[in-house]
């Protein structure tokens, strides 16, 4: 009698259309993978197997020793070498950063996204990540030193000479990273959940803001139309009826 082969069905099988039975978090807990997070196992080196063995050959005419290969060579070899797979992923940090030619240090930009959208800010420099470093200054339109992508920015023809402005060396991409604290473990006495502390501006950031703003404001005061420029930076950008951004000249 012919016996049917039993097919193995995994626990996390496909339900259809790429939807699996268990999610990644469910599998993470079912397999107890949290026990192995952060643990490193030292790899044990296996003793290398000898490729050649010394054999004693008997007989009157064949007396002596010979070295014989443990594994015989292949009888057939492929006519062409296999194509080696190259890594397809290109790291984002190695990408070439480009900048629109209309955006130069000192150019007044209009923000189109974020909490400060509609404000006019001064462009300081481009960071290593490709993001633009801008400032209000804070005393004029309450926009602090922040990063923004050049996709969400309109470059204007108004420019300020900031060649004498010296930025602190600490202001880079790591400067803007938020420090996330781990959740505190619940204890027996804790009945109510503790409220999460909101974001608070550090003292070093406030000091850096003052250093940059004083230099930028000094550059604005040196401008020939400083009164108009101060009013221009403090005003918000907006479109009225029958106004189209692709027809405007900034």
Tens digit of each residue's pLDDT (9 = 90 or more) over 217-250: 999 999 988 899 999 999 999 888 888 888 888 8
pLDDT: which is higher, 3 or 164? 164
pLDDT band at 112 (very low <50, low <70, confident <90, very high): very high
Closest CA to 156 of 201, 112, 199: 112
Report the chain's terminal Cα–Cα distance, integer Å.
86
Residues 6+ apart with CB under 8 A from 117: 111, 152
Contact 111, 117 (CB under 8 A): yes
The domains of the chain are located at 97-177+225-238
Instruction: Give the mean pLDDT of the chain.
Output: 87
pLDDT: which is higher, 111 or 39? 111
CATH, domain range 97-177+225-238: 2.30.30.30
SS3 217: helix
- The pLDDT, as a whole number, for residue 77 is 87
- Per-residue pLDDT, averaged over 193-218, amounts to 85
- The pLDDT, as a whole number, for residue 184 is 65
Q: Which of 32-46, 76-90, 98-112 has the lowest mean pLDDT?
A: 76-90
Mind listing the pLDDT tens digit for each residue in 162-196? 999 999 999 999 999 887 777 666 665 565 666 66
- The pLDDT, as a whole number, for residue 192 is 61
Mind listing the pLDDT tens digit for each residue in 43-76? 888 898 899 998 888 777 776 788 889 998 888 8
Contacts 24+ apart (CB under 8 A), 117-120: 117/152, 118/236, 118/237, 118/238, 119/143, 119/236, 119/237, 120/156, 120/232, 120/233, 120/235, 120/237
- pTM attached to this predicted model: 0.60
- The pLDDT, as a whole number, for residue 188 is 58
């Amino acid at each position: 009698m012919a016996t049917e082969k039993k097919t193995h069905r995994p626990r996390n099988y496909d339900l259809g259309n790429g939807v699996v039975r268990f999610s990644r978090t469910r599998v993470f807990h079912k397999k107890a993978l949290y026990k192995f997070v952060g643990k490193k196992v030292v790899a044990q080196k296996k003793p290398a197997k000898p490729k050649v063995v010394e054999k004693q050959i008997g007989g009157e005419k064949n007396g002596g020793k010979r070295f014989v290969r443990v594994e015989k060579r292949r009888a057939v070899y492929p006519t062409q070498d296999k194509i080696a797979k190259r890594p397809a992923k290109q790291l984002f940090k190695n990408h070439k950063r480009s900048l629109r030619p209309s955006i130069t240090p000192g150019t007044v930009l209009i923000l189109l996204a974020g909490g400060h959208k509609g404000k006019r800010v001064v462009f300081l420099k481009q960071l290593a990540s490709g993001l633009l470093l801008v400032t209000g200054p804070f005393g004029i339109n309450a926009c602090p030193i922040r990063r923004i992508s050049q996709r969400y920015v309109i470059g204007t023809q108004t420019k300020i000479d900031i060649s004498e402005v010296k930025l602190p060396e600490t202001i880079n991409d790591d400067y803007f990273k938020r420090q996330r604290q781990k959740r505190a473990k619940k204890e027996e006495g804790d009945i109510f959940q503790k409220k999460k502390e909101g974001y608070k501006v550090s003292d070093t950031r406030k000091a850096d803001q003052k250093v940059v703003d004083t230099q930028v404001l000094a550059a604005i005061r040196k401008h020939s139309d400083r009164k108009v420029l101060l009013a221009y930076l403090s005003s918000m950008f907006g479109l009225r009826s029958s106004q189209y951004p692709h027809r405007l000249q900034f």
